[in-house]
Amino acid sequence: MAENIARVFADAIAPDPTRPLLTWYDDATGERTELSGATLANWVSKTANLLVDELGLGTGDTAGVLLPPHWQTAAVLLGCWSAGLTVAETPGEVDVLFAAADRVGQAEAWSAGDRYALALDPFALPMRQVPPGFADYVLEVRAHGDHFTPYASGAEDLVERARRRADELGLAPGDRVLIDAAAHPDPQDWLLAPLATAATVVLCANLDPTRLPSRTETEKVTRTLT
């Protein structure tokens, strides 16, 4: 059976689920959020359970994702792939849509029965005001279970693409990769390619170049993508 993203994710965290897998910085707000493999896996499972148990979705269904690089985006994407959904790359008709609060206006280009908004606030706080026609992802997803058995099918093609991209970016197994979110907004770069090589990520939004030297040392970065 072809390998899928859910299997790659599981393999990436298996050696040590407690090690930092994805560390998020936003230099505009000063936020730093560090997720171990186990913590991110819990968010991924909750998302997959939301899709399967609450919405009745699975293999063959589609999701639209209007989200910037962010640790919560990683949870949404990996949750969709774990549940067997295909993430659409262009606007159109989908079964579920996830949108950042500042991108809900773009949702008009998508047709979706269920819509979730993400504030992307520090500490995953619930939204102060939920946009009309949307549910609050953070509020809804917390009610679901921490464990999910990924579907065996779905997103096989993404694995090969991710491995090719990892080669292009010069990533190696065990790398600690600092990534400028603005320069590499494609999930192939900031999420899938590192996972495919069992690398860990320091994802930086609004990156302040003056902080690079100290952050590289503090986070034990071995590869920088800016």
pTM of the shown model: 0.96
- Residue 155 in this model has a pLDDT that exceeds 80: no
Burial bucket for residue 31 (CB in 10 Å: 0-12, 13-18, 19+): middle
Question: Smallest Cα–Cα separation from 43: which of 108, 118, 114?
Answer: 118
Amino acid, single-letter form, for residue 117: A
User: What is the chain's mean pLDDT, rounded?
Assistant: 95
**pLDDT reading at 72 higher than 70:** yes
Residue 11 C-alpha from the chain's centroid:
16
Tell me the two tokens of residue 79: 């949750």
Residue 1 has pLDDT above 50, yes or no: no
Q: How confident is the model at residue 156 (pLDDT cuts 50, 70, 90)?
A: low
Q: What is the arithmetic mean of pLDDT over 23-41?
A: 97
Q: Does the pLDDT of residue 163 top 70, yes or no?
A: yes
Element (H, E) at 35: strand 31-36
Instruction: Give the pLDDT confidence of 195-211 residue by residue, as tens digits.
Output: 999 999 999 999 999 99
Identify whether the C-beta of residue 44 lies closer than 8 Å to the C-beta of residue 79. yes
93 burial (CB, 10 Å; 0-12 / 13-18 / 19+) is exposed
Q: Which CATH class is domain 37-141?
A: alpha beta
**What pLDDT is attached to residue 151?**
85
Q: How far, CA to CA in Å, does 166 sit from each of 12, 197, 207?
A: 14, 7, 22
Residues 6+ apart with CB under 8 A from 124: 72, 138
Average pLDDT over residues 11-23: 96
Average pLDDT of the segment spanning 64-68: 98
Rounded to whole angstroms, how far apart are CA atoms 168 and 70?
22
Separation of alpha carbons 17 and 36, rounded Å = 6
